[in-house]
Structure formats: C-alpha cells, structure tokens
C-alpha cells in the first residue's frame, strides 16, 4: 500500500465530508481583516495544508492568498504581478506595514470629516416654525395651525362621517397620507 492510498483511507475514515467542506469554505473565504501579514500568512498556510487539492497550481495559490488581502494591498500586489507565492509574501512584508500605517492614520481624518446632525446648516423651516410656536395650550403638543383636538370628524377636510386616514380628499403630500 502506497502513501496516497493510506492517506485516502485515513481521510475517508476520520474526516467527515461536511467538515472537509467547512475547511474548504473557510480557506476560500479567508480575509486578512485586522490580522498582521504574519498572522494572515500563517493562517493561510495552515488551511492550505488541509486542502491541498484547491491549490495544486501556483497561480491559484497566489490568487487565493491575494484575494484575502485588504483592497489597497491587493491592488498594489496585483500591479506588481509576482510569479511565485514566496515573492508575493516578500512583497507583502514590505508593503503591508506601510499601507496599514496609512490606513490607520486615515481613520481619524475620516472620523473627523463625518458630518453630524449639529453640523447641518440649520433646522428646516417647519421645525424652526414649530419650535417658535411652542406647545399648544389645548392639547399640549407642538403643531402648526389651528388645534383640532376634541373635534369630531376628519382632521384633513373638517367633514364629518370619516377619519383623516380614510379621507376621500387627495393627500396634501405625495409621501404622507
């Protein structure tokens, strides 16, 4: 019995198909995320040893490795078109720290550049008008115009026999009934 036959028997006996598929899926969807290049490379190689049939060709091995890198690093690596897996790893060692530090330094700038509700130029006309009017003495709510609380009938058309949600009169606004 040869090595490959023994290996196939061991895999068949001790490795359920669903576990093999789970490892394959983890390998194919591996992303560097917040890992360092060493952690990512270690994890990639660890999973690659478990699914060697997916990376029999060097080009595929490089493709899956590069695919899991952050977008900026991936773009840089693709433009240099390395031919071996080892050359990709060496290139990433050089590039990863530089680009990672740029991304970290850009994060506070993006955070500061985000607008908040207070940064808006000013409140809308309706809001400021309602704030100026204050609370209604009749119903205790803030609204514009005449207070219709306690009145029977439709608040929209002031007719009796139906409520405003069932009013046959066309809505005043196309977004709201």
Residue 26: pLDDT band (50, 70, 90) is very high
Question: How far is 64 from 59, CA to CA, in rounded Å?
Answer: 9
Q: What is the pLDDT of residue 15?
A: 79
Residue 150: C-alpha distances to residues 18, 31, 138, 177 (Å) = 66, 62, 9, 21
Q: What is the pLDDT of residue 170?
A: 67
Answer yes or no: is pLDDT of 13 > 90.
no
Answer yes or no: is pLDDT of 90 > 50.
yes
Question: How far is 116 from 112, CA to CA, in rounded Å?
Answer: 10
pLDDT tens column, 104-153: 555 555 555 555 555 555 555 555 554 555 677 777 777 767 777 767 77
Residue 177: pLDDT band (50, 70, 90) is very low
């Amino acid at each position: 019995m040869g090595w490959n036959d023994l290996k196939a028997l061991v895999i068949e006996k001790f490795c359920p198909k669903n576990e093999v598929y789970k490892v394959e899926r983890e390998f194919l969807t591996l992303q560097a995320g917040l890992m360092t290049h060493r952690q990512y490379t270690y994890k990639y190689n660890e999973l690659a040893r478990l699914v060697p049939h997916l990376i029999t060709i060097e080009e595929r091995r490089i493709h899956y490795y590069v695919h899991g890198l952050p977008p900026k690093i991936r773009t840089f690596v693709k433009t240099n078109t390395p031919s071996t897996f080892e050359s990709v790893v060496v290139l990433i060692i050089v590039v990863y720290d530089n680009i990672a530090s740029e991304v970290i330094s850009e994060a506070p700038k993006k955070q500061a550049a985000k607008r908040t509700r207070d940064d808006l130029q000013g409140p809308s006309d309706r809001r400021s008008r309602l704030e100026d009017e204050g609370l209604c003495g009749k119903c205790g709510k803030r609204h514009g115009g005449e207070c219709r609380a306690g009145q029977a009938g439709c608040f929209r058309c002031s007719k009796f026999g139906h409520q405003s949600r069932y009013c046959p009169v066309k809505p005043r606004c196309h977004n709201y009934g």
